[in-house]
Amino acid sequence: MYMGEEHLFSVEQITAMLLTKLKETAENSLKKPVTDCVISVLGTAFDPFLGGKNFDEKLVEHFCAEFKTKYKLDAKSKIRALLRLYQECEKLKKLMSSNSTDLPLNIECFMNDKDVSGKMNRSQFEELCAELLQKIEVPLYSLLEQTHLKVEDVSAVEIVGGATRIPAVKERIAKFFGKDISTTLNADEAVARGCALQCAILSPAFKVREFSVTDAVPFPISLIWNHDSEDTEGVHEVFSRNHAAPFSKVLTFLRRGPFELEAFYSDPQGVPYPEAKIGRFVVQNVSAQKDGEKSRVKVKVRVNTHGIFTISTASMVEKVPTEENEMSSEADMECLNQRPPENPDTDKNVQQDNSEAGTQPQVQTDAQQTSQSPPSPELTSEENKIPDADKANEKKVDQPPEAKKPKIKVVNVELPIEANLVWQLGKDLLNMYIETEGKMIMQDKLEKERNDAKNAVEEYVYEFRDKLCGPYEKFICEQDHQNFLRLLTETEDWLYEEGEDQAKQAYVDKLEELMKIGTPVKVRFQEAEERPKMFEELGQRLQHYAKIAADFRNKDEKYNHIDESEMKKVEKSVNEVMEWMNNVMNAQAKKSLDQDPVVRAQEIKTKIKELNNTCEPVVTQPKPKIESPKLERTPNGPNIDKKEEDLEDKNNFGAEPPHQNGECYPNEKNSVNMDLD
């Protein structure tokens, strides 16, 4: 109801109303206009070992123990029986969500051809799952702790997921927040729809409305390393909990040689993995500067779109002295190399990484805090170069020349990184797995071809057995009929006995043996169906061309333009084809249905084509066009017909010529008689 009237709103309208209301609320709180409406996630908490499957397992354990006592059956000893029990327990769990009475569980032929049955009600189910229900409040407390909110600050609670249909789960959540919970979203499809939307956003094949989705790092990640001269270890948390992802950071270390970084999850207790370590990364080819000082090594760490942590690149800042002429030439080369890349996306990523690196906290190494990157030495040398040249011009001739200072160039040297990830397979093992998988794929392909060949034999047996007693019965003699039926029965018995597990070629040979007898029968049936249709079509074409030839002999105006020699070719072709058709029809009439036909439908079709190719170009010749007399243009007027001009001259012979400009002709003998009233 809206404004006292009933209205029907679409999903899009309801969503727009919600976002508009959120915008108004934000504007009232911020005291400023809001252009974009963003729904932010303040925190996340979960229990990876608590879900709908855990409730199913409680039911499965209960009925496994009951069936073992009641029927002496161990359901866990057979995978098939256990899977059936899981399916039935899931159905029973859903039924108990809407019914509090005793509900039966019945499975036919469960094990050893025995039927089993049991029953369960909601109260018994809640007693079995009391331990699981107690775990529901743990992530809720964790969520409030992360967001620094109180229960009173939460205005509404929406739950999704199949397990939220369990009444006891709803009661626990509602009791925790002290308010009724909402279930307006589809419990099963809410997450799937979100995943589908995210896939559409990432895929280049779909165009969807732009949404700004920023993922988060669920578990904090830290790095640990050893100092050069001390046994102490340095630790730094590079990505905190709920840090934005994907994201990159650049860390600077002062080192004289190769060093090792170890990545691990900062909170091992909160990680749902048996191992908190991520991997070890060895930065190689690190050396001290020529003056013996430590080198600056920049290490780039990143969490990508998939939430995977890695150390992507490492580079060493090296100072190299150069001569002035070498400096100028190398500076030109660097200018060429520093041209913006053609791909705008790549340039954008580099700028993003640099901006991210500049905002990160500094890392302490060797009891020293790394400072921000100094200005580029190349720029410093270029700036000092021009004033030096100006001063040189101002020098007096009598002053002695000063010694040139060596130029220093800073070069970033890329360093190799050896990654040893905890969960990563070795190259040899990975290649072995790939090879094994390829063999399995090939074996599956061969097995499919073998099964297809076996199924083809079985299908052929069943098809011909039915048709030999039906439409094919008239097209095979009695003796062959009995022999073929016996062969089909023997083949069927062979399939289920010796031929149960034969090679592909064995089934191919069996099928060829059956087709040697069955194919002629099938061809006779098909020819008997198609041959009369082809004969009828050929007869119609012969009648058509014969009628045209008769009309030509009767001087019909439609065909009097055709040459007589051409029409004789038509008559000759019609007579030859008609004679051929009569001969083969008479010969076919003497054959029985169980004999091979004298003529096939394809031969008749070829004759029709030959007849059309011979006769059709002749009988469809167009009549020659009669050209109309050409019109001539007079010098001072439009075109007129000569005949009309002669006729007009003839009619005007002896007539009085017209008077021009009032002239009279006194010498004219003839006078004009005029009657005056």
Q: What is the pLDDT at residue 4? A: 59
Rounded-to-integer distance, Cα 254 and Cα 369, Å: 10
Position 301 pLDDT exceeds 70 = yes
Q: Residue 427's pLDDT band (boundaries 50, 70, 90)?
A: confident
- CATH number of the structural domain 218-320: 2.60.34.10
For residue 301, report the phi and psi dihedrals to the nearest 5 degrees: -105, 150
Rounded-to-integer distance, Cα 616 and Cα 609, Å: 10
Share of the chain above pLDDT 70, in %: 76
**List of long-range contacts for 290-296, beta carbons under 8 Å, 24+ apart:** 290/319, 294/228, 294/254, 294/255, 294/256, 294/366, 295/254, 295/255, 295/256, 296/252, 296/253, 296/254, 296/370
Bigger pLDDT: 627 vs 648: 627
Q: What is the mean pLDDT of the chain?
A: 78
Reading the block at residue 265, the tokens are: 């999850």
Rounded-to-integer distance, Cα 329 and Cα 422, Å: 47
Name the E strands within 51-138.
Answer: 103-111, 114-120
- How buried is residue 89: exposed, middle or buried, by Cβ count under 10 Å (0-12/13-18/19+)? buried
Rounded-to-integer distance, Cα 312 and Cα 326, Å: 33
Spatial neighbors of 659 by CB under 8 A, at least 6 apart, are 665
Task: Give 52-182's CATH code, choosing from 3.40.50.720, 3.30.260.10, 3.90.640.10, 1.10.10.10.
Answer: 3.90.640.10
Q: What is the pLDDT at residue 27? A: 79
Bigger pLDDT: 429 vs 230: 429
Q: Choose from 214-218, 328-332, 637-641 the range with maximum mean pLDDT.
A: 214-218
Closest CA to 256 of 229, 281, 236: 229
Q: What is the pLDDT at residue 59? A: 94
Position 510 pLDDT exceeds 90 = yes
- Report whether 268 contacts 276 (CB < 8 A): yes
Reading the block at residue 602, the tokens are: 């394809």
Q: Residue 365's pLDDT band (boundaries 50, 70, 90)?
A: very low
Q: What is the pLDDT at residue 634? A: 52
Rounded-to-integer distance, Cα 583 and Cα 599, Å: 10
Phi-psi region of 140 (alpha: psi -120 to 50; beta: other; left: phi over 0): alpha
pLDDT one-digit tens code per residue, 226-277: 876 655 678 899 999 888 888 999 999 998 889 999 999 998 887 877 788 9
Q: Residue 3's pLDDT band (boundaries 50, 70, 90)?
A: low
Angle at the Cα of 667 (from 662 to 669), degrees rounded to 5? 110
Which position has the token pair 């060493």?
316
Q: How many helices (H) and strands (E) does the chain have?
A: 17, 17
Q: What is the pLDDT at residue 173? A: 92
Q: Choose from 283-292, 417-426, 584-593 the range with maximum mean pLDDT.
A: 584-593
Rounded-to-integer distance, Cα 175 and Cα 204, Å: 45
Q: Residue 305's pLDDT band (boundaries 50, 70, 90)?
A: confident
Average pLDDT over residues 151-179: 89
- The region of weakest confidence among 1-5, 439-443, 604-608, 641-645 is 641-645
Reading the block at residue 206, the tokens are: 């779909």
Position 449 pLDDT exceeds 90 = yes
- CATH number of the structural domain 426-621: 1.20.1270.10
Q: What is the pLDDT at residue 401? A: 56
Q: What is the pLDDT at residue 281? A: 92
- The region of weakest confidence among 344-348, 377-381, 444-448, 616-620 is 377-381
Average pLDDT over residues 365-376: 33
Bigger pLDDT: 429 vs 539: 539
- Report whether 151 contacts 116 (CB < 8 A): no
- Amino acid symbol at 611: L
Please give the C-alpha separations between residue 289 and each of 213, 318, 327, 387, 417, in angstroms, as whole numbers: 45, 7, 20, 30, 20
Q: What is the pLDDT at residue 628? A: 65
Bigger pLDDT: 639 vs 224: 224
Rounded-to-integer distance, Cα 27 and Cα 245, Å: 28
Position 465 pLDDT exceeds 70 = yes
Reading the block at residue 107, the tokens are: 């499975």
- Report whether 76 contacts 91 (CB < 8 A): no
Average pLDDT over residues 449-469: 93
Average pLDDT over residues 420-445: 82
Closest CA to 280 of 300, 294, 249, 259: 259
Position 667 pLDDT exceeds 80 = no
Q: Residue 13's pLDDT band (boundaries 50, 70, 90)?
A: low
Bigger pLDDT: 662 vs 358: 662
Position 325 pLDDT exceeds 70 = no
Closest CA to 480 of 512, 527, 517, 525: 517
Bigger pLDDT: 390 vs 501: 501
Q: Residue 393's pLDDT band (boundaries 50, 70, 90)?
A: very low
Q: What is the pLDDT at residue 212? A: 76
Position 342 pLDDT exceeds 60 = no
Average pLDDT over residues 47-64: 91
pLDDT one-digit tens code per residue, 21-32: 777 777 777 787
Position 348 pLDDT exceeds 70 = no
Reading the block at residue 156, the tokens are: 């509404």
Rounded-to-integer distance, Cα 338 and Cα 353, Å: 17
Q: Residue 213's pLDDT band (boundaries 50, 70, 90)?
A: confident
